[in-house]
Structure 1
Amino acid sequence: MTETYNNYVGGEWIESTAGETFAVRNPADSDEIVGHFQASTTADAEEAIDAAVAAQDEWANMPSPERGAVLNSTAKRLEARKEEATETLVREEGKTYSEASGEVQRAIDIFYYYAQKTRDIGGTVKSPSGQDKDLYTKREPLGTVGLITPWNYPIAIPAWKLAPALAAGNTAVLKPASAAPNVVRIVFECLDEAGLPDGAANLVTGSGSEVGGPIAGHEDIDGVSFTGSTAVGTSVAQTAAEDLTRVQAEMGGKNPTVVMPSADIEEAAEILGVGAFGTTGQSCTAASRAIVHEDVYDEFVGAIVEYAESIEIGSGMDDPDMGPHVSESELDGTLEYIDIAKDEGAKLVTGGEELTDGEYADGYFVDPTVFADVENDMRIAQEEVFGPVLAVSKVSDFEEGLAVANDVDYGLSASIVTEDLNEAGEFVDRIEAGVAKVNEKTTGLELHVPFGGYKQSSTNTYREQGDAGLDFFTSTKTVYRNY
Structure 2
Amino acid sequence: MPPTRNYIDGEWTDSESGDTFETVDPAAPDDVVATYQESTAADARAAVTAAADAAAEWASTPAPDRGAILKAAGDVLADRKAELTAQLTREEGKTHAEAGGEVQRAIDIFHYYAQKTRDLGGTVKSSSGGRTNLYTREEPVGVAALITPWNYPIAIPAWKIAPALAAGNTAAIKPASLAPGPAVSIVDALDDAGVPEGVVNLVTGPGSTVGNALIGHDRVDAVSFTGSSAVGGTVYDLATDDGKRVQTEMGGKNPTIVTESADVEAAADIVAAGAFGVTGQACTAGSRAIVYEEVYDEFVDAIVDRAQAIDVGPGDEYGMGPQVSADELQSTLEYIDVGVEEGARLAVGGEALDGGRFGDGYFVAPTVFGDVAPDHRIAREEIFGPVLAVLEVGGFDEAIQVANDVDYGLSASILTRNHTEANRFVEEIEAGVAKINEKTTGLELHVPFGGFKGSSSETWREQGDAGLEFYTIEKTVYENF
TM-score, length-scaled by structure 1: 0.99
Residue 140, structure 1, aligned to residue 143, structure 2:
no
CA distance in structure 2 between the partners assigned to 1:61 and 1:215 by the alignment:
24
CA distance in structure 2 between the partners assigned to 1:6 and 1:428 by the alignment:
47
Q: Which residue identity does 1:467 align to in structure 2?
A: D
Give the equivalent residue in structure 1 for 2:444: 446
Give the equivalent residue in structure 2 for 1:153: 152
Structure 2 segments unaligned to the other structure (5+ residues): none
Cα deviation, residue 480, structure 1: 1.5
Match of 1:343 among 341, 344, 349: 341
Match of 2:391 among 359, 379, 393: 393
- The alignment covers a number of residue pairs equal to 481
After superposition, the C-alpha distances for 1:254-289 in whole angstroms (9 at most, x for unaligned) are: 000000010000110010000000000000000000
Structure 1 segments unaligned to the other structure (5+ residues): none
1:214-363 pair list within 5 angstroms: 214-318=213-317, 320-363=318-361
1:108-187 pair list within 5 angstroms: 108-187=107-186
Residue 103, structure 1, aligned to residue 102, structure 2:
yes
Give the equivalent residue in structure 2 for 1:462: 460
Q: Which residue identity does 2:266 align to in structure 1?
A: E
CA distance in structure 1 between the partners assigned to 2:396 and 2:240 by the alignment:
40
CA distance in structure 1 between the partners assigned to 2:440 and 2:68 by the alignment:
34
SS of structure 2 residue aligned to 1:288 = strand
Identity score, percent: 61
CA distance in structure 2 between the partners assigned to 1:210 and 1:41 by the alignment:
6
After superposition, the C-alpha distances for 1:358-390 in whole angstroms (9 at most, x for unaligned) are: 121220000000000100111000000000000
CA distance in structure 2 between the partners assigned to 1:242 and 1:220 by the alignment:
14
TM superposition outliers: structure 1 runs of 4+ over 4 Å: none
SS of structure 1 residue aligned to 2:319 = coil
CA distance in structure 2 between the partners assigned to 1:378 and 1:313 by the alignment:
27
Cα deviation, residue 58, structure 1: 1.5
Cα deviation, residue 193, structure 1: 0.9
Give the equivalent residue in structure 2 for 1:373: 371
CA distance in structure 1 between the partners assigned to 2:233 and 2:266 by the alignment:
37
SS of structure 2 residue aligned to 1:115 = helix
CA distance in structure 2 between the partners assigned to 1:390 and 1:274 by the alignment:
11
Q: Which residue identity does 2:286 align to in structure 1?
A: A
SS of structure 2 residue aligned to 1:316 = coil
Cα deviation, residue 158, structure 1: 0.1
Cα deviation, residue 4, structure 1: 1.2
CA distance in structure 1 between the partners assigned to 2:319 and 2:424 by the alignment:
34
Cα deviation, residue 479, structure 1: 1.1
CA distance in structure 2 between the partners assigned to 1:469 and 1:71 by the alignment:
15
Give the equivalent residue in structure 2 for 1:364: 362
Residue 422, structure 1, aligned to residue 416, structure 2:
no
Cα deviation, residue 3, structure 1: 3.6
Q: Which residue identity does 1:169 align to in structure 2?
A: G
Give the equivalent residue in structure 2 for 1:81: 80
Q: Which residue identity does 1:410 align to in structure 2?
A: Y
CA distance in structure 2 between the partners assigned to 1:416 and 1:232 by the alignment:
30
After superposition, the C-alpha distances for 1:455-481 in whole angstroms (9 at most, x for unaligned) are: 000000000000000000000111112
Give the equivalent residue in structure 1 for 2:199: 200
Q: Which residue identity does 1:416 align to in structure 2?
A: I
SS of structure 2 residue aligned to 1:325 = coil
Cα deviation, residue 317, structure 1: 1.3
CA distance in structure 1 between the partners assigned to 2:151 and 2:192 by the alignment:
26
Give the equivalent residue in structure 2 for 1:211: 210
CA distance in structure 1 between the partners assigned to 2:271 and 2:223 by the alignment:
34
Cα deviation, residue 205, structure 1: 0.3
Deviates more, 1:41-50 or 1:358-367: 358-367
CA distance in structure 2 between the partners assigned to 1:252 and 1:337 by the alignment:
16
CA distance in structure 2 between the partners assigned to 1:157 and 1:244 by the alignment:
24
After superposition, the C-alpha distances for 1:193-216 in whole angstroms (9 at most, x for unaligned) are: 111001100010000011001111
SS of structure 1 residue aligned to 2:316 = helix
Q: Which residue identity does 1:19 align to in structure 2?
A: G
Cα deviation, residue 243, structure 1: 1.2
CA distance in structure 1 between the partners assigned to 2:339 and 2:212 by the alignment:
34
CA distance in structure 1 between the partners assigned to 2:119 and 2:139 by the alignment:
13
CA distance in structure 2 between the partners assigned to 1:199 and 1:136 by the alignment:
31
SS of structure 2 residue aligned to 1:338 = helix
CA distance in structure 2 between the partners assigned to 1:472 and 1:49 by the alignment:
19
Give the equivalent residue in structure 2 for 1:70: 69
After superposition, the C-alpha distances for 1:337-367 in whole angstroms (9 at most, x for unaligned) are: 0001111111100000000121212200000
SS of structure 1 residue aligned to 2:334 = helix
After superposition, the C-alpha distances for 1:76-111 in whole angstroms (9 at most, x for unaligned) are: 111000000000000000000000000000000000
Cα deviation, residue 136, structure 1: 1.1
CA distance in structure 2 between the partners assigned to 1:403 and 1:136 by the alignment:
46
SS of structure 2 residue aligned to 1:321 = coil
Give the equivalent residue in structure 2 for 1:479: 477
1:2-13 pair list within 5 angstroms: 2-13=1-12
Q: Which residue identity does 2:425 align to in structure 1?
A: F
SS of structure 1 residue aligned to 2:158 = helix
Q: Which residue identity does 1:366 align to in structure 2?
A: V
Cα deviation, residue 154, structure 1: 0.1
CA distance in structure 1 between the partners assigned to 2:149 and 2:183 by the alignment:
11
